Amino acid sequence: MIEQKAAMIRLLLLDVDGVMTDGHIMMNDRGEEIKSFDVKDGQGLKMLMAGGIEVVLVTGRRSLTLGHRAEDLGIKEVYQGVSDKRTLCRQLVMEKGVKKEEICCIGDDLPDLSMFSEAGLCIAVADAVSEVRESAHFSTTRNGGAGAVREVCELILKSQGKWDDVVKALTGK
């Protein structure tokens, strides 16, 4: 069931804090934000994009750090300060010409539930709040910021039969 849904995905929408990070926000004495991102999650996103899946970041907060991380990963679409994620999802569906069943959303907290209503595959990270886990089609075994995104990337690529080709392109083997 989950593999069938994952096989149809063309667009991955990710929340950031609590999904790509562990949800902690550190600030230095100048008030500058510091976030920690999992390198394996980043590699998974690069592999997913190499497999032809588009990745879009959607977050309710604003962070210069996120812009730098997205650029480092080659993610071109980053929406920050989004208070209504449902409307943004609907807009993306129209702009990109994708169907609901071709969208996967990953979330961890209540604001992400509005994205879930617009996606064919809804995924909660392992440490998501109970309402998100209960609304999801699938929950990762790993926490946000600790490999959950990589787990989803592998699920999608393997379900689409692209994993071996992406690995081969990456490693030359």
Helices (H), the chain: 2-7, 39-50, 64-73, 85-96, 113-116, 130-135, 148-159, 163-171
Kindly report, residue by residue over 98-133, the tens digit of the pLDDT.
999 999 999 999 999 999 999 999 999 999 999 999
Closest CA to 12 of 109, 94, 84, 77: 77
Domains and CATH numbers, the chain: 1-56+78-85+119-125+138-167 (3.40.50.1000)
Mean of the pLDDT values across residues 84-105? 92
Closest CA to 4 of 113, 164, 141, 161: 161
Average pLDDT of the residues of the chain? 94
pTM of the full predicted structure? Answer: 0.93
Give the Cα separation of 42 and 147 in Å (integer).
Answer: 9
Write the CB contacts of 72 (distance below 8 Å, at least 6 apart in sequence): 42
